Amino acid sequence: MNFVAIILTLLGVMAGVQESLPSRYFKSKGHHGRTAENEPPFTEKYFSQIVDHFNFNSMGNGTFNQRYLITEKYWDRENGPIFFYTGNEGDIWDFALNSGFITELAEQQRALVIFAEHRYYGKSLPFGQESFNIPQVGLLTVEQALADFALLISQLKQELGASNCPVIVFGGSYGGMLSAYMRQRYPNLVAGALAASAPVLSTAGMGDPRQFFRDVTSDFEGYAPECSAAVRGAFQRVQDLAEHQAYDRLQSAFALCKKPSSPGDVRQLKGFLRNAFTLLAMLDYPYSTHFWGDMPAHPVKVACEAMLSGPDLLANLRNTSGIVYNSTGEQTCFDLYSLYVECADPTGCGLGSNSLAWDYQACTEIELCYESNNVTDMFPAMTFTPAERLAYCSKRWGVTPRPGWLRTQYWGDALSTASNIIYSNGDLDPWANGGVRTSLSPSVVAINITDGAHHLDLRGSNDADPASVISARKTEANLIAQWVAMERLRLK
């Protein structure tokens, strides 16, 4: 499919909005339909999980149904390990469908595979439709999620007669953070962890707030310096129109469903557009994907071709954002407030109930005070300071964030005292420099993947894979096999 041709084709559609949208529409953190071709061999099950692991009075022994996926297809019950995916901020099927390396490795090492859904995401809602009310949402914490995983592992090992089967945990992004935390917090249950694209440092308040959007910019500059210059110029045109309150022109230029009418609407437009570039950089895979919507192969390249396609920078910016927000070609206009929600994560929370859960986590334990400044990056100056985070979170959720909590809980800059953790990162991923890029010990290993986007190594093998990710997966497989062998000896 010629994505560039599609996104550059505009047709008149609406009175008041004379341009149609570029094709391809982004379905934020959505769950795509499964077909016989891509159906992994999982059975969907539910586990009666404890609502509150740490307070015997508030909820008693109350339980909720935690969803998990399981397959014994590859498992050697006598000698095979357990591969356990620590679910993150979304529907667990989305991660199972996009983490083919785990099942490939399970076939090689004869493992049982489990994908566990994170509480408050997907269908694992402790209080049903009331889960995001206050105070019910207060049981959404990293600690509760880790305890969920620990109890699920323990119970399933007992039920399946697998008490002597070593457990290796896997995760990507926030899920990668959880995998590392599981090895640190529950080494009695977990023999090792593959933490892919896990920003364990920046989310603990240990990074530069400019790093994320600087690295998004670097991806586009890496394709062509004139690409980032064009993006910067387009955003300046947006600012110029906003300063003159040319709201009609902004609506027409970006095919907006509703005319902007305030500085707040303009900020929403800027966040909406910046978020498109964030996703294009994160998902810059060498082949088309269907993880967070339909994305073409090499989306940064496709985006830069759109940005450099002609002299009308606003039209080019609109078309580029359409790669993300109009992936079905069905939209006749952009609804800024339904397609993008500003929240406590400047890189985007997504939409729907999953976005509520992530917003709450970003307001409590997970620090995401990232900013763009139009100096070290190509985006408009948009701050999100600790003070702004506090004001937003106090108003939205009635909570006061706890800066430094993850650093205290999960060892911060003392990670060298851990063991049996792989931190893998791709150099195209804007999250990479918020994680561990240098090996800290012989058993806390950093793997850097040239030309790798967001947790590319967890994806299934593809003919277009760069040699670097093929090598990374081999290293990961060898280390995991060593950990399994060591743990099997210990258990015996």
pLDDT tens across 459-470, in order? 999 999 999 999
Distance from CA of residue 364 to its chain's centroid?
A: 18
What band does 366 get if pLDDT is binned at 50, 70 and 90?
very high
Distance CA 189, CA 212 (A): 34
Question: Active site residue: 23, 28, 124, 173, which one?
Answer: 173
Q: What is the pLDDT of residue 294?
A: 85
What band does 4 get if pLDDT is binned at 50, 70 and 90?
very low
Please give the model's pTM, rounded to 2 decimal places. Answer: 0.92
What band does 9 get if pLDDT is binned at 50, 70 and 90?
very low
- Concerning whether 454 is annotated as a catalytic residue, the answer is yes
Question: Active site residue: 454, 455, 457, 468, which one?
Answer: 454
Mean pLDDT value of segment 30-51? 71
46-57 pLDDT per residue, tens? 999 999 999 988
Mean pLDDT value of segment 308-333? 93
User: Could you tell me the CA-to-CA distances from 89 to 119, 142, 145, 465 in Å, in that order?
Assistant: 9, 11, 11, 26
Q: What is the pLDDT of residue 41?
A: 86
- Concerning whether 31 is annotated as a catalytic residue, the answer is no
Q: What is the pLDDT of residue 16?
A: 34
Q: What is the pLDDT of residue 291?
A: 81
The percentage of residues in the chain with a pLDDT greater than 70, rounded to a whole number, is 92
pLDDT exceeds 50 at position 18: no
What band does 95 get if pLDDT is binned at 50, 70 and 90?
very high
Closest CA to 336 of 248, 251, 231: 251
Alpha-helical (H) ranges within 160-262 are 174-185, 211-223, 225-243, 247-254
- Concerning whether 429 is annotated as a catalytic residue, the answer is yes
pLDDT exceeds 60 at position 12: no
Question: Active site residue: 148, 429, 457, 465, which one?
Answer: 429
What interhelical angle do 247-254 and 225-243 show, nearest 10?
140
Mean pLDDT value of segment 99-117? 98
145-154 pLDDT per residue, tens? 999 999 999 9
Q: What is the pLDDT of residue 38?
A: 54
Angle at 206 between CA 201 and CA 207, to 5 degrees: 90
What band does 202 get if pLDDT is binned at 50, 70 and 90?
very high
Side by side, the strands of the sheet bearing 82-86 are 43-50, 63-71, 112-116, 82-86, 167-172, 192-196, 421-426, 444-449
pLDDT exceeds 80 at position 14: no
Q: What is the pLDDT of residue 31?
A: 37
225-251 pLDDT per residue, tens? 999 999 999 999 999 999 999 999 999
Mean pLDDT value of segment 385-399? 98
Rounded to 5 degrees, what are φ and ψ at 204? -100, 15
What tokens were used for 273? 């557009």
Residue 54's H or E segment, with its range, is: none
